[in-house]
Amino acid sequence: MKPARLLLLTNGPLARNPRVVKEASALGAAGHAVTVLGFRNHRASVPLDAALAAGAPFRHEQVELLDGPAAFLRRAFSRLARELAARAGPATIHALGPAFSLLRRARSTPADLTIVHNEIPHWTGLRLIASGRRVAADIEDWHSEDLLPADRVGRPLDVLRRVEHGLLHRAAYVTTTSEALASALHARYGGRRPAVLTNSFPLPPPPASPPAPSALPAFFWFSQTTGPGRGLEAFAAAWALTTRPSRLVLLGEISGDFDRRLLALLPPALRARVEFLPLVPPADLPALIARHDIGLALEQSAILNRDLTITNKILQYLGAGLAVVATPTAGQREVLGRAPECGLLHDFAAPADAALALDTLLADPAALAARRTAARRLAETHYCWELEAPRLVKRVEAMLTPPRS
């Protein structure tokens, strides 16, 4: 088909939006002219974004929020919106960032189809639809049902719900990350049931030979932020009761003194087996994950979004050939329901029971190796970007093809 002009909108840097990078790369590789427009709002990501965009099959543009007088005014406007909401309420979309700036840039960028990711782009998408633009939406997270209660204060939840409702009824199509989340969004808002586009990643090279028998098996966990509310405290309480030796490796930006508080939950002998790693460039993450044995997917079902979605981490563990220890959220039950032999589901509510399950997993190296093999096989047969990318391209091109008379 004729190459199309595609505009992808996102909230932030490429380095923190792997789903956007994968989507833009797949559509660019299919021959379309793709532009990714986001915010330059995270200084540590600036060099990472430059590396990701170099040679990529898409253009990367940003609304400046870090440097210069225009950036200062945009930040000041958002800060004022947050302060006014705190005093008088209700919060507006501008409390999350300079929504008008993104809307103006999007309106000035010609596009045959605009695909919107994240909160401010979702809001922007509805306004583009009202002006006659063709817009699709990706609901990677259920933003109005996300975060801990303390972190939801000041968020424009009513606005987010109206936007989510509008997109399901008016967007050209909507995608999301799991069957569980697709069903929940449809039940709440009606409209079109979202299509599922999982957070799968390109398959890394097959895992290397297993570690030497003398090496301690390693649990691995990663996120942008290593902090409270991510299930690490409950895991630590169970791990402290295990009798089989193992290690724990955590990757992410440490929130405050969370590392000290987490170590305080462990006996001295285990503290020496905990390693905190800084964030790495996205291209380096798969190889780093593959150096470990068991991936921890500790999402909390009390947060509705975290219960329903399938996060990046569990799918990256599968691709790297790690056995998985996952909490029984709806999204993670969906994944392991396809191949229960990949790992185990446990809620960690009872530390002694969880410790016994972890010890059982650690006790048999051959069984652990079999779980790792099964995990890689599930990635190859179901959860990999090599399977998802053609589905995405087909869906987008179907939106761009004129209907037959």
* Nearest alpha-carbon partner for 255 in 226, 278, 280: 226
Lowest mean pLDDT among 148-152, 191-195, 236-240, 356-360: 148-152
Q: Per the structure block, which two tokens stand in for 20?
A: 């956007």
* Integer Cα distance of 178 and 176 in angstroms: 6
The pLDDT, as a whole number, for residue 211 is: 54
Let me know if the fold of 5-200+385-400 is the same as that of 218-381: yes
Task: Identify which has the larger pLDDT, 189 or 210.
Answer: 189
pLDDT band at 212 (very low <50, low <70, confident <90, very high): low
Q: What percent of the chain has pLDDT over 70?
A: 97
> What letter would DSSP give residue 301?
T
* Nearest alpha-carbon partner for 249 in 284, 224, 225, 217: 217
CATH number for region 218-381: 3.40.50.2000
Q: Write the pLDDT tens digit of every residue in 266-325.
A: 999 999 999 999 999 888 999 999 999 999 999 989 899 999 999 899 999 999 999 999
Residue 255 phi/psi, 5° resolution?
Answer: -85, 115
Domain ranges of the chain: 5-200+385-400, 218-381
Q: Per the structure block, which two tokens stand in for 22?
A: 């994968």
Q: Write the pLDDT tens digit of every residue in 85-110.
A: 777 778 899 989 999 999 999 999 99
* Integer Cα distance of 211 and 294 in angstroms: 12
The pLDDT, as a whole number, for residue 282 is: 86
Instruction: Look at residue 192 and tell me whether its pLDDT is greater than 60.
Output: yes
Region 378-390: mean pLDDT is: 97
C-alpha torsion sign, points 11, 12, 14, 19: negative
CA distances (Å), 400 to each of 6, 32, 201, in order?
A: 10, 11, 26
As its CATH architecture, domain 5-200+385-400 has: 3-Layer(aba) Sandwich (3.40)
Could you tell me the pTM of the whole model? 0.91
pLDDT band at 198 (very low <50, low <70, confident <90, very high): very high
* Integer Cα distance of 342 and 355 in angstroms: 19
